[in-house]
Structure 1
């Protein structure tokens, strides 16, 4: 039986000192057919371990409806790690941050406001225990002392940056140990005194998260942990991107030099990220430290392996450093090859709001509901009311989460925007039907706004120049279906050629076309000429696009691509004439930022 433990100065593998050389791969951000490729390239980099989070809301998007399918088979992922002869670190949290929607916490948990957030509160803890027990049923038989790859399990995640509830942490430890987890348990926090003090327990191994000044950060960690191995559980070798801000990169040589200092001190490391992957679907998170900043679809992270799994300059710089501390394989991964360059027109288009209206019945509500209140936790929804005005006025809301097109009598009249703090729209005098198409752009994944509801936040009031206000409480609600195909195929919704009705006077549209491909290959779908919205490729939601930049291309993994015709559906909130389907030879993640 192989053993793994925490010694006085080192990790001990079968009693001998062991330096963990790990890289982060999130199984839920990479297609299962590509797991083995990314794991193999990790070993060729010189790594001996793979780390992953577990995203609770991916596995249980609806309360009680659990899934290990559709790319969420954690056991299969861990077995793929073992097949490569590597170890695994699992971080089930329940909170993961990871720039992932709601930090991995399911939105349904907070729908009625009864559950606490990341603290010892009965409703929250009961749900957390059910979640962790499911995850530990997978991890327990795959621990190293059972012949599996798992050597460490993490409790919570950067908790010292959020709260200070030691009883909460103790209960998480109790649940973990009661589920048969016997490997060492860790916590992680940024190497700041208050965070390290609040985010762990004496019996847990403290690790750090940082991306520079490693000797200084490790010294801080050592002050809080006089014995035991030192480890950077998140060595930030890159960074994520937000819509409307420049693409982030870090200098490969500088990162490698700092990594050399870290490894030279004898510390262990987990590269965050090794390969970031993609926020497929509507899974990206957001940050809000005074300004709401939704995260882009690509989670490339400027990592050693890019979003499509190709080695970057950082991979080779890191490999040279890691080779000073371990023996490297003579095999090296292949470099980047240009992707097919293809193009085709859109062949059909429907008005989105007409199609949504034909898809279901609006629900009347005597107050302004949130999307969460209506049982919808992702995507877009239509809010509608009728307003009679004797004079021009403004319709305003306490908040909008996160963006809303405003249509007055079917005509686009403006947009509400949380990031730009625009919460009102002008409504002219008269009797009007007012429609708001609201888009959830990603739930906040870090800080005190975890768990907040999406949609329009009331009160909704009509405000006149005199300062007088009138609350609008009579609303109807209709969700935009997550699957666009029924909308496109609805016989009651008008279907026209895109060229016949270019851009439809700015009203949102669903467009459809076909892309012929000679054979399965990675593709980079070009969104130039599109406005903002969502793309589906052969039925799988690739994620969001937005012409504010910096991301211009969407990654289409080769397992999704068929030989011959491939179906492309685009929901465009700001359609333009002349838009078409095209792919590029390489990705563009740093296009100009819109002013």
Structure 2
């Protein structure tokens, strides 16, 4: 593959005009066994390019440890893209937004008090430099200047919406060039932030969901010497817990895509295929009220969460065919799905127990420590102390990030939620020295805006009847290993958070959705693969299960229920349920 040339009239490859018609496909949101299928479908729809972010927080979970295995095998993904005949727009960040946990910035950065993210703070830049020093040499063989599929690389991400530190952007540009990234560089910003986020000598691109007739001339006025590129055409949207499932009519999105292409612009669909926020990887927004993103990242995209075509697939293919060559052949057909009803979960294991997972990771301190101070990325922190006196008790916590369940001598006494700005509970303490347990869930670090410095756990002091409560034991519960849970046959329904386990048998693995109707809030795994979070408040009611996580014969399902279930069983359904819709 040849390098991309940039002129005021457009792009070219091998001296021939080349229009970038791309779609976002995040390898880290798709099971790796499905990468090839999704890439082939991108070509079928008429795309000649895909774009992907690179999540720093997954690739470098601890400083100096670069992971590129399994679902993080970016190089394999790039190889598959090239084999499929697709070029790649690569977006390495370091910040990616993407409704992804912390915008892709690793949580260990926040263990440094006062660090200023996305600036020239020397502590932040030192971490970025070290990460790119490990990452970029792996990627340079995949640049188009070396015959690879990567035709352009993004500098940061929508920086104009965050800051105005030009020295920071210049540092990143120089860093990429020093590491031999010699393909065109580009920035992307929303229309109002174009001037602040652009860099002299670097291609400026724009992100929007509608209004091409206004936004493209604004980009042209800012950069008359460059081609028009829409890096993110928002053809759908993401959902948050407690809101509706957002959809956009295919005809409306297709009209906007046609307007972009009719203006002569190149484009990348956000998203072509959204995928899933598996595990604890969803992000959140906080514009004075904290709003965590749901597990599904279906995004109402041309390919749904299971990789099946939606009405947008055919509508977009028709639009693209009016402006570029589209491969011959039929539309993709939906994949086989699995249905199995009434799978019993007949074994349980308590969470608030020292024999629960990661029970060996205890730390004692006078004041509560944050998740970052404990060296923990995701999951829960279990805080334990003793209440000084019996009788009426007024408990306050300076700040909970993000959701705290409080127990006294094992009995639940209330929930404090950041989303509801709640910080106080009143209850009766049965005896002096009663044990207080506070289970705090990280529901997703903020991925956008000023609240990006989003530390988790108990932040500040805990007070009992006005006096600061000291002497805390901390237990980190990242739930990466469930192998040593003390399961036993369920008797009475457990009080407090508990794991529930069962098995089911399949003859032929296939995609399915785990239906958790009757359950309240928690997480689910199949054969150790963390599907993500569920919450009865919706909108999402079923979790997507990729077929490759199952096996012929017996399969194990584990559900962590934080409250209670109406019935200790689950269903596997052949259709999703993303909740009531709102256009």
Bucket of the pairwise TM-score, normalised by the shorter protein: over 0.9
Q: Show the counterpart of 1:479.
A: 476
Partner SS, residue 259 of structure 1: helix
| C-alpha distance after superposition, 1:200-219 (max 9, x if no partner) | 21211110010111111111
Q: How does 1:571-590 map to 2 (within 5 A)?
A: 571-590=560-579
Give per-residue Cα distances to partners, 1:539-558, cap 9 Å, x unaligned: 11111111110111111111
After superposition, residues 202-213 of structure 1 pair within 5 angstroms as: 202-213=200-211
Matching of residues 238-253 of structure 1 within 5 Å: 238-253=236-251
Provide Cα deviations, 1:356-415, integer angstroms capped at 9, x if missing partner.
Answer: 468336432111211211111210121111112365232111110111111011101111
- Rounded Cα–Cα distance in structure 2 between residues aligned with 1:54 and 1:472: 42
Confirm or deny: 8 A CA contact 1:355 1:487 kept in the other structure.
no
Aligned-pair distance for 1:185?
0.4
Count of matched residue pairs: 578
User: For the residues of structure 2 that align with 1:355 and 1:473, how far apart are their CA atoms?
Assistant: 21
Report if aligned partners of 1:4, 1:15 keep a CA contact under 8 Å in 2: no
Corresponding residue of 2:456: 454
User: Which stretches of structure 1, 4 residues or more, deviate above 6 A after TM superposition?
Assistant: none
Q: Which residue of 2 aligns with 1:257?
A: 255
Q: CA deviation at 1:484?
A: 4.9
Preserved contact between residue 377 and residue 454 of structure 1 (Cα < 8 Å): no
Mapped pair 1:300 → 2:298: yes
Q: Paired residue for 2:549?
A: 560
**Following TM superposition, by how much is the alpha carbon of 1:487 offset from its aligned partner in structure 2, in angstroms?**
4.1
Aligned to 1:541: 530
> For residue 347 of structure 2, what is the aligned residue in structure 1?
348
Deviation track 1:531-582 (CA, whole Å, cap 9, x = no partner) reads 1111111111111111110111111111111011111111110122422121
Corresponding residue for residue 526 of structure 1? 515
Cα deviations by residue, 1:292-335 (Å, 9 ceiling, x for unpaired): 11111111000000011100001111111011011222213332
Quick check: 427-436 or 228-237, which moved more?
427-436
Flag structure 1 segments of 5+ consecutive residues without an equivalent: 464-468
Shift of 1:287: 0.4
Aligned to 1:406: 406
What secondary structure sits across from 1:41 in the alignment?
helix
**Distance in 1 between residues matched to 2:569 and 2:7, nearest whole Å:** 60
State how far apart, in whole Å, the 1-side matches of 2:3 and 2:481 are.
51
Query: In structure 1, what is the Cα distance between the partners aligned to 2:184 and 2:360?
Result: 52
1:515–1:581 Cα contact (<8 Å) kept? no
Q: Structure 2: how far apart are the matches of 1:145 and 1:26?
A: 23
Find 1:284's aligned residue among 278, 282, 299: 282
Classify 1:591/1:384 alpha carbon distance in 2 versus 1 (closer, same or farther; 3 Å). farther
Deviation, structure 1 residue 145: 2.1
Which residue in 2 is equivalent to 1:466?
none
Kept in 2: contact 1:389–1:428 (CA 8 A): no
Return closer, same or farther for 1:114/1:7 CA change in 2, 3 Å cut-off: same
Specify the SS of the correspondent of 2:489.
coil
Shift of 1:116: 2.2
Q: Is the 8 A contact 2:66 2:135 kept in 1?
A: no
Whole-angstrom distance in 2 between the partners of 1:182 and 1:361 = 46
> CA separation in 1, counterparts of 2:15 and 2:441?
54
| Counterparts of 1:282 and 1:269, CA distance in 2 | 31
- How big is the alpha-carbon RMSD for the aligned residues of Structure 1 and Structure 2? 1.7
- In the superposition, the TM-score normalised over structure 2's length comes to 0.96
Change in CA separation of 1:354 and 1:187 when aligned onto 2, cut-off 3 Å:
same
